[in-house]
Amino acid sequence: MANDRKTLPYRELEIDDDSPAHRHKKKKKDEKNWGVPGAVLIVCLMTLPLLVFLCSGSRLSSTLIWLRDVKVNAVQGWEHGSNQTSSTASNNNHTNGLIDGLISPNFDKESCLSRYESALYYKTIPYMPSSYLKQKLRNYEALHKKCGPNTPLYKKSIEQLNSGHSAELMDCNYVVWIPYLGLGNRILTLVSTFLYAILTNKVMLIQATDDMVGLFCEPFPDSSWILPPDFPIKNIMQLDVNSNVTYRNMLNNHVISNDPNTKVESLPSYVYIHLSHDIEHSDRLFYCNEDQYIIGKFNWLLLHSDLYFVPSLYSTPMFEEELGLLFPAKESVFYLLAHYLIHPTNSVWGLVTRYYNSYLSKADEKIGIQIRIFHWVKVSSEVIFQQILDCSKKERVLPELDLNGTTAFKTNEPKSKAILVASLYADYYERFKSMYYEHSVKTGEFVSVYQPSHEERQKTEIQSHNQKALAEIYLLSLCDVLMTTAYSTFGYIGYGLAGIKPIFLITVHDKIPDPPCVRAVSMEPCNLTPLLNTCTGKTVDKEKFEQHVKQCEDVDHGIKLFD
């Protein structure tokens, strides 16, 4: 049986009382109201008959002592049990939303509900942060608070920037993230740039554009990550691969040298790093050890990218040991850093929770299907839809139709499945809806089909479009099974936040490929334009590197992290 409603809009809907956030609040309230006094009351009631029997004459004193000991042990046991429950619940993301200390508790919770609530909506946590990562994040937060916008040290660094040359012994050094392309690319590069900032002890600031307003909460306590509007470099959004201030062009024009003995004062006050898909040969020197020594001497880095360049950082020897300490599990990098850094604002989180609690939360299984049609794909929607069906049959994703209508109606409570379609187009949603409306399924399950929006085209320049896109990424991440489009950064973030390994729909060129899809081995995003081996100095051990940095399952020329 299928749901027959039209595309379901984001709208103000009453949150279901069974929502994760409501259950969490109710549990906390119950624990607060009951707690230790309740435990003591239970013990007293259980021991009352024995007390009456024993309490006579000289036995009364010793009995009261025994009862006191029982009460103390019971309270300790309750507290111990509570801690055990808390630990277990933390493993299942159902306690305080902090993911075992990944997220700092030093925020006003009401100002960004998703920071603490989002973890409550996930069934499992595939990875916990290492103690080293947690300490590194707390250290970074202290650095950001000390060096953030409008602090005395920030103003001192702006004076240095205006001087035209770098300076030694500066308390604060910065990497400025420059937005480029769509929301998926931006989130991937935010995470990548933040990791680079942690590795190099720099402060990350972002050049926020109008289309980003109202998307993300501030990620660091008591400070901002937004680059102030009076930042001296006014053409920051116009910088590109041909700009004179790129590291490559400054090398080629002999403005700077990659000699390790280069004096800091001889360097310009900033350098532009271009790590986008049109990266040139010399730009790839960014990943070389000797060049990182020079780049690290600049007080200001302006970084432009549309790629998840984290896998390439593993090729830099100076980062190798630190990365191993931060992320013992290689596949945990994006999952942990994204859950730390990216938090939808209350307006976006409201879209997510209202939709999820109204339509998806009660389903026994949630299946997310993300469909991105790239401009180079010249086949019809019928071909793409058939590819999805072929993939589903191969991987057993969608409920199988009973084309003969022989499935008997089940008198007991049937299971339900919800299919969430994320696409710019309504056509695929309508096809799924009709398919499950016109036919029952062999297992007798109820099947509902949903699509939050269909914008028809990507509108990155429009704030409301980006808000809906971010909400749909999070809705996808709350699904149990994901089928996503190969090469799609939108899909990468959906399954990366979910912490699950998706099924990739292989790019269709002229006909449906065989096989039509492939199951991911790693949950990490793909670096679609990786480095080539251009370094001449010290390099990492190639065999060791290739054990955990390999070709992406969905893109032949991409690389990603594997455990």
Q: Please provide the DSSP assignment of 385-431 as one string.
A: HHHHHHHHHHHT-SPPB-TT--PPPPSS---EEEEEEEES-SHHHHH
Q: Judge contact between 446 and 417, C-beta under 8 A.
A: yes
Q: What is the pLDDT of residues 164-209, one digit of tens each?
A: 999 888 999 999 999 998 899 999 999 999 999 999 999 999 999 9
- Rounded to an integer, what distance in angstroms lies between the CA atom of residue 336 and that of residue 222? 21
Q: What is the pLDDT of residues 272-327, one digit of tens each?
A: 999 988 877 667 889 999 999 999 999 999 999 999 999 999 999 999 999 999 99
- Rounded to an integer, what distance in angstroms lies between the CA atom of residue 247 and that of residue 250? 5
Percent of the chain at pLDDT > 70 equals 80
**322's tokens:** 């630190």
319: helix, strand or coil: helix
Query: Looking up tokens 């899809």, which residue turns up?
Result: 517
Q: Give the pairing of strands 517-519 and 416-423.
A: unpaired
pLDDT at 67 over 60: no
- pLDDT for 421 equals 96
State the DSSP H helix or E strand holding residue 316, giving kind and residue range, or none if neither: none
- Rounded to an integer, what distance in angstroms lies between the CA atom of residue 334 and that of residue 320? 17
Alpha-carbon separation of residue 63 from 37, 57, 383 (angstroms): 21, 11, 81
- pLDDT for 75 equals 26
pLDDT at 158 over 70: yes
- Rounded to an integer, what distance in angstroms lies between the CA atom of residue 423 and that of residue 468? 12
Each residue of 473-488: b (16+ CB within 10 Å) or e?
bbbbbbbebbbbbbbb
Q: Judge contact between 391 and 369, C-beta under 8 A.
A: no
